[in-house]
C-alpha cells in the first residue's frame, strides 16, 4: 500500500496554506453544498460563471462495482453501526425501544410517549402528569423509565434540560473515577464553571465536557442534507483497490475572457477567479490524499475487517498542518464503497492506546461474554481485568459498562437470570 502515497500529486505547503486561509468555506463544505459555498465569491465577480454539477442522478455516476458490491463478512453489526443511513432521530430511537431497557408494555408505552414529546433539540417537554393520570402509573415510575434513555443513542437524548443531558453523557464518557465527582458538581452549577478552575482534575473535566453534544440531537440536525460522497473506493476488474474523486459533481468555473484585461478592476477579478479555480483544485488534491491515506491505514476494513486506530494527528503530520485544520477538511465529507456510504470522520477512531481502537476492545468484549460460564457470568471488573491484560491498556470500570450498554449486553446478574430461562 506504500505505493499509493507515491502516486498522488499534491501542491506545495505554501499553496495549501493559502487555499485553506482564503477559501476555507470551499474546503469545509460538503460536495452537495459546494456551489452555495462559492456563491459569495461568484456574485461579486463579473468575469466568472459557474455551472453546478449537482443536478444529475448520482447513481448513474457510481462505478458498478460499488452499486453491485455485496458485504460478505461476519461483522454485520459493525457495518450497520458505521454506515450512513438516511434515518431520522425517531427511527433510530424506535429501533432501541425494546429489551433489555424497555421489556414490558408499560415501559415501552412510556418510552414511545417520551419520543413523541421531544423538541427539535432532543429535549423532553411532555406533560408527564397527564400521561401518568391517564395510564394509572406514578410519576416516580414514569421517571425511572425515562431515565433509561441515558443508555440510548444519541447519548443525552430525552433529558429535560442541558444539565441532565450532560449527566446522561457523563456516564457514557471516558472520565476517570477521580474526576467524576467534580464533573457532576460543575454540571449542576455550569454557569459558575470558572469558580472551579483551581480544583484538581479541572482540566480533565473541561476536556470531557468539550466532547458532549449540545443539543443532544445536533447530529441529526446536521445530517438533514442530501449526502453526496466526495470519494469512491472500490475494487476494479484486476481486483486492485481504486480511489476516484466524484469530479462529476464539482461545479465548473468559466472565466469570461472578453473583458478588457488592462482595466485594474478586471485584472483583480480575473486573479480572484483563478484563485477560486486553484481552491477547487486544492480541495480535490487534499481529499484525494486523505482518501489514499484512509485506504492505506484502513485497508483491512475495505477487505471486510474492522476500522483500525487512525487519529487526525497522523494526517496532520503528513500534511504539515494542525489537526484542527484536517478536522475541517474532512467535515461533511463522505466515501462510497462496496460496504456502504460512510462519513470520513468514521475512519478516525478514538484510540485508547496507539495500537488499540475501541472497536477492537468491543469485539473482544463480545467474545468474552459469548464464552463465559452461564453459572458465573463475568462481572464488569473481571471484564476490565481481562481487557487490560489482553490489550495492555489502562481503563476504568465505567468504560466497560459504557461499552457493554452500547453493545446491548446486560449486566452479569441479568445475564445469569437470562441464562437460566433457556
The C-alpha atoms of residue 94 and residue 257 are separated, in whole angstroms, by 57
Contacts of 221 (CB under 8 A, 6+ apart): 120
Give the neighbor-by-neighbor strand order of the sheet with 241-245.
241-245, 231-235, 334-337, 340-343
Banded pLDDT at 383 (limits 50, 70, 90): very high
CB 155 within 8 A of CB 175: no
Banded pLDDT at 19 (limits 50, 70, 90): very low
pLDDT tens-digit readout, 226-263: 578 888 888 877 778 888 888 877 777 777 766 655 67
The pLDDT of residue 157: 93
73 pLDDT above the threshold of 60 = no
- Residue bearing cell 413523541: 116
pLDDT greater at residue 47 or residue 156: 156
- Find the range with the poorest average confidence among 53-57, 103-107, 346-350: 53-57
Assess whether the region 89-221 and the region 354-421 belong to the same CATH fold: yes
pLDDT tens-digit readout, 292-311: 888 888 888 888 777 777 77
Mean pLDDT, residues 114-142 taken together: 88
Banded pLDDT at 349 (limits 50, 70, 90): low
Angle among Cα 217, 221, 224 to the nearest 5 degrees reads 140
* Cα dihedral 348, 351, 356, 358 sign: negative
The verdict on whether omega for the bond into residue 60 sits within 30 degrees of 0, i.e. cis, is no
State in words which class domain 354-421 has. mainly alpha
The C-alpha atoms of residue 172 and residue 156 are separated, in whole angstroms, by 9
- Find the range with the poorest average confidence among 127-136, 155-164, 343-352, 370-379: 343-352
**Domain regions of the chain by residue span:** 2-68+225-347, 89-221, 354-421
The pLDDT of residue 23: 56
The pLDDT of residue 262: 66
Total Cβ atoms within 10 A of residue 125: 9
The pLDDT of residue 322: 66
pLDDT greater at residue 358 or residue 286: 286
Among 2, 71, 96, 78, which Cα is nearest to 357's?
78
State what percent of residues in the chain have pLDDT above 70.
79
Domain 89-221 has CATH 3.40.50.720: no
Mean pLDDT, residues 154-176 taken together: 90
Among 247, 286, 30, which Cα is nearest to 38's?
30
- Assigned C-alpha cell, 196: 472551579
The C-alpha atoms of residue 247 and residue 53 are separated, in whole angstroms, by 9
The C-alpha atoms of residue 369 and residue 377 are separated, in whole angstroms, by 8
Mean pLDDT, residues 188-201 taken together: 83
Q: Three-state SS across the chain? A: CHHHHHHCCCCCHHHHHHHHHHCHHHHHCCHHHHHHHHHHHHHCCCCEEEECCCCCCHHHHCCHHHHHCCCCCCCHHHHHHHCCCCCCHHHHHHHHCCCCCCCCHHHHHHHHHHHHCECCCCCECCCHHHHHHHHCCCHHHHHHHHHHHHHCCCCCCCCCCHHHHHHHHHCCCCCCCCCHHHHHHHHHCHHHHHHHCCCCCHHHHHHHHCCCCCCCCHHHHHCCCCCCCCEEEEECCCCCEEEEECHHHCCEEEECCCCCCCCHHHHHHHHHHHHHHHHHHHHHHHHHHHHHHHHHHCHHHHCCCCCCCCCHHHHHHHHCCCHHHHHHHHCCCEEEECCEEEEHHHHCCCEEECCEEHHHHHHHHHHHHHHCCCCCCCCHHHHHHHHHHHHCCCCCHHHHHHHHHHCCCCCHHHHHHHHHHC
Q: Which of 125-134, 314-323, 391-400, 412-421 has the highest mean pLDDT?
A: 125-134
The pLDDT of residue 138: 94
Banded pLDDT at 422 (limits 50, 70, 90): low
- Find the range with the poorest average confidence among 207-211, 231-235, 327-331, 408-412: 327-331
Amino acid at each position: 500500500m506504500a505505493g499509493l502515497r507515491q502516486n498522488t500529486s499534491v501542491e506545495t505547503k505554501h499553496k495549501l496554506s493559502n487555499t485553506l486561509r482564503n477559501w476555507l468555506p470551499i474546503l469545509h463544505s460538503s460536495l452537495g453544498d459546494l456551489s452555495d459555498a462559492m456563491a459569495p465569491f461568484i456574485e461579486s465577480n463579473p468575469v466568472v460563471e459557474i455551472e453546478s454539477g449537482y443536478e444529475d442522478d448520482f447513481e448513474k455516476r457510481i462505478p458498478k462495482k460499488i452499486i453491485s458490491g455485496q458485504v460478505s463478512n461476519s461483522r454485520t453489526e459493525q457495518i450497520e453501526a458505521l454506515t450512513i443511513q438516511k434515518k431520522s432521530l425517531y427511527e433510530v430511537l424506535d429501533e432501541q425501544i425494546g429489551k433489555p431497557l424497555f421489556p414490558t408494555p408499560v415501559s415501552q408505552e412510556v418510552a414511545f410517549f417520551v419520543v413523541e414529546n421531544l423538541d427539535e433539540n432532543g429535549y423532553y417537554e411532555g406533560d408527564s402528569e397527564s400521561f401518568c393520570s391517564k395510564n394509572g402509573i406514578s410519576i416516580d415510575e414514569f421517571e425511572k423509565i425515562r431515565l433509561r434513555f441515558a443508555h440510548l443513542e444519541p447519548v443525552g437524548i430525552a433529558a429535560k434540560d442541558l444539565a441532565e443531558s450532560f449527566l446522561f453523557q457523563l456516564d457514557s464518557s471516558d472520565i476517570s473515577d477521580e474526576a467524576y465527582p467534580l464533573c457532576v458538581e460543575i454540571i449542576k452549577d455550569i454557569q459558575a464553571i470558572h469558580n472551579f478552575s483551581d480544583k484538581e482534575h479541572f482540566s480533565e473535566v473541561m476536556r470531557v465536557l468539550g466532547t458532549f453534544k449540545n443539543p443532544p440531537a445536533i447530529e441529526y440536525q446536521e445530517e438533514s442534507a442530501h449526502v453526496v460522497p466526495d470519494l469512491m473506493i472500490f475494487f476494479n476488474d484486476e481486483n486492485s483497490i481504486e480511489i476516484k474523486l466524484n469530479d462529476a459533481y464539482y461545479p465548473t468555473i468559466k472565466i469570461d475572457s472578453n473583458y478588457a484585461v488592462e482595466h485594474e478592476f478586471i485584472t483583480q477579478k480575473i486573479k480572484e477567479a483563478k484563485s477560486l479555480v486553484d481552491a477547487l483544485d486544492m480541495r480535490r488534491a487534499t481529499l484525494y490524499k486523505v482518501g489514499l491515506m484512509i485506504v492505506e491505514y484502513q485497508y483491512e476494513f475495505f477487505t471486510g475487517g474492522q476500522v483500525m486506530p487512525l487519529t487526525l494527528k497522523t494526517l496532520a503530520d503528513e500534511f504539515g498542518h494542525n489537526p484542527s485544520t484536517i478536522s475541517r477538511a474532512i467535515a461533511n465529507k463522505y466515501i462510497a464503497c462496496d460496504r456502504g456510504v460512510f462519513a470520513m470522520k468514521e475512519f478516525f477512531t478514538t484510540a485508547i492506546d496507539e495500537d488499540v481502537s475501541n472497536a477492537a476492545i468491543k469485539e473482544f468484549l463480545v467474545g468474552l461474554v459469548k464464552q463465559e460460564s452461564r453459572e458465573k457470568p463475568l462481572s464488569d471488573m473481571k471484564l476490565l481485568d481481562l481487557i487490560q491484560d489482553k490489550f495492555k491498556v489502562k481503563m476504568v470500570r465505567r468504560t466497560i459498562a459504557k461499552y457493554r450498554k452500547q453493545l446491548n449486553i446486560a449486566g452479569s446478574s441479568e445475564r445469569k437470570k437470562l441464562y437460566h430461562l433457556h
